[in-house]
Amino acid sequence: MTKPSKSVFNIAGVFRALGYSMAGLKAALVHERAFRQEAVLFLILAPLGAWLGGSWIEKTLLVAVLFVVLIVELLNSAIETVVDRIGTEQNELSGRAKDIGSAAVFLSITLVILVWSWILIPPLL
């Protein structure tokens, strides 16, 4: 006798995961000043990027790089939270982990500046 196969798509699991994701976004908004600042900039710049972009691909790029900043900031905040959970005393590896996460955020913001410049400046020239 064969066992009934489990469905690959578990709607309850999807909603449970969505709940965890929303809790994570709420935690970032409540506890992470940098994420709040970047979220406000996203709310301002995303509609602006969708309006200023010429083609659909330009619009997509202008908005997508803004999402990248939020994603990287969430990952950086998660790293910082875990490091702080382990201990608050000075530690070379803890400091390195936080610095690397910060560098990732910096690079994602640099990407926004580059993409927005490459797309929006040439038409002005």
- CB 75, CB 67: distance < 8 Å: no
Q: Which two tokens stand for residue 27?
A: 């935690």
pLDDT band at 89, cuts 50/70/90? confident
- Catalytic annotation, residues: 73
Under DSSP, the state recorded for 122 is G
Task: Please name the helix (run of DSSP H) or strand (run of DSSP E) that holds residue 109, with its range, or none.
Answer: helix 92-120
Amino acid at 22: M
Q: What percent of the chain has pLDDT over 70?
A: 94
CATH number of 33-124: 1.10.287.3610
Provide the residue ranges of all domains of the chain, joining segments of one domain with +.
Answer: 33-124
Q: Tell me the per-residue pLDDT of 9-39, one tens digit each, with 9 for 90 and over.
A: 789 999 999 999 999 999 999 999 999 999 9
Q: What percent of the chain has pLDDT over 90?
A: 83
User: In 3D, which of 111, 15, 99, 100 has the Cα closest to residue 70?
Assistant: 111
Task: Please name the helix (run of DSSP H) or strand (run of DSSP E) that holds residue 89, with its range, or none.
Answer: none
pTM of the model: 0.87
What pLDDT does residue 6 have? 66
User: In 3D, which of 41, 44, 22 has the Cα closest to residue 33?
Assistant: 41
Cβ count within 10 A of residue 43: 10
